[in-house]
Amino acid sequence: MMALDGMKTGVHSTNSFACYGRHAALTLLGTQHADKRFYTVNVQLAAKSHDGRTFAWKDGINTQLNQHELFQLSALLLGYAPYAEFKREDKGVTFERQDGSVYVNGTARGSRPCSLPVLPGDVFLLSSLCLSQIAKNTPLSDGSLVLAAIRGAASLLQQQRGQ
């Protein structure tokens, strides 16, 4: 199930999309990178709380993507790459296309592992958020040119993985 949270506030959009699974939840939050040089997304994963009714966001996994990682996630969500992995010293999040969905898995030191499938309609909304962030970072004004640039660069990702 997908929820759209966010409103246009002033000049900038503060959109976030949340996907809720049986045992975990995923949120992508459109934001400006911590160093203020580009726009990106925060990836947040949380396991279901012990009460079984809510998600443990404060104990979850939160990762801000750099420009290369934002491109990788966009390529995966658009179907140009099969796999994306974002590792940090004490945590990691993977996205993989499989069986009609994108499977998301996250691990972090001191947190329970989180995983959930993201269904096609939700993938559409997540990819649109990533594309809107990429569009803010590029001089390309035509969306089809942005897609062509992502597709061309994604072919290099597949070569790196030996596919």
Q: Which domains are assigned to the chain?
A: 2-160 (2.30.31.10)
Tens digits of per-residue pLDDT, 120-131? 999 999 999 999
Sign of torsion, CA 147 152 157 158? positive
Is pLDDT at 7 greater than 50 in this prediction? no
- What global pTM score does this model have? 0.84
Q: Count the residues in the chain.
A: 163
pLDDT (0 to 100) of residue 112: 83
Residue 6, token pair as written in the block: 């966010």
